[in-house]
Structure 1
């Protein structure tokens, strides 16, 4: 029986083979041995399908961040450092491990899609739980953009990235007011 999960798995495979620019609903349907109308019964458009796949992928790739943010047994400075490094490593590893799905995420981020917006809002919420205010969370997120925004993905494999991030974290932590 055809369900949304089966379609999303097939879509991931099609995206990996063809990339986000060339993958079509017809390709997905063909890989499942069904008509494209059968796919459209579960997802009203190619954009909706692409967003569903990306949303699921983002949840899988970044679930560990929520646990770091929620760990109140660890102080804010240590949590902030751990969270920022975990975000950087998750993005870097996701881009390297699954480049076609990451490319789909990049397209959605560039289009300011609902999924990309939800992802950013979730990350900002986690940061706010660490640093205490929405304004500080936004400032930290902006200051660390080179380590998590998909536009900077080409830089993430540079040898000095973790050293630069460590220096940035030190600057951020020392600049934060005590809570």
Structure 2
């Protein structure tokens, strides 16, 4: 094990963990593999992450947070609520589709990890539906949307678009009809939100 000259940080450990997971998969990747990749002892890794489970949870949260951070800019960005809602849902679909298509091995690994780490996934979904709630509440406040309960509407929109962001549907994201299907669902949802009962 070659000594490292860089300071060992949680971020460096998470980067190395992601690479180890890509190479070995979640079943075979160990803390010793991560330490070896960093040129440190496994005890050094444990000083930052007390258990293997804590390390796996942190790397999964980091992966999910990348999507949420990209979307957060749309929530507070320019444009009317309808434009922002359309942009947010499109960006979510694109982010998930790129993760699945650009690095299928890592995507498969994270799918396994998210199945194991329900709490991290629930936090991620709560973050995303919170962002949707902000957009829908802004639309309701301006009169652009008819949504007496923006949080309930946000949960409904998130569930209705599940086919375009739930990893369970990843195989469908490369089909020829997926763009048309997404556009049809998006237009239907926006029509429902903008129609006064």
Q: TM-score, normalised by structure 1?
A: 0.90
Residue of structure 2 equivalent to 1:130: 135
Task: Name the SS for the 2:50 alignment partner.
Answer: coil
Do 1:108 and 1:116's aligned partners in 2 also have CA atoms closer than 8 Å? no
By how many angstroms is 1:159 displaced? 1.6
Do 1:108 and 1:115's aligned partners in 2 also have CA atoms closer than 8 Å? no
Residue of structure 1 equivalent to 2:116: 111
1:141 aligns with one of 137, 144, 158 = 158
Runs of 4 or more consecutive aligned structure 1 residues displaced over 3 Å after TM superposition = none
* Aligned length, in residue pairs: 178
Segments of 5+ residues of structure 2 without an aligned counterpart are 1-6, 138-149
Please tell me whether residue 160 in structure 1 is matched to residue 177 in structure 2: yes
1:110-158 C-alpha deviation (Å, 9 max, x unpaired) = 2353321221111001110112211000000000001001111111111
- Structure showing greater Rg: 2
Greater displacement, 18-27 / 106-115: 106-115
By how many angstroms is 1:26 displaced? 1.5
Please tell me whether residue 70 in structure 1 is matched to residue 76 in structure 2: yes
Segments of 5+ residues of structure 1 without an aligned counterpart are none
Structural RMSD (CA) = 1.9
**Distance across 2 between alignment mates of 1:135 and 1:96:** 32
Pick 1 or 2: higher relative contact order, CA cutoff 8 A, min separation 6: 1
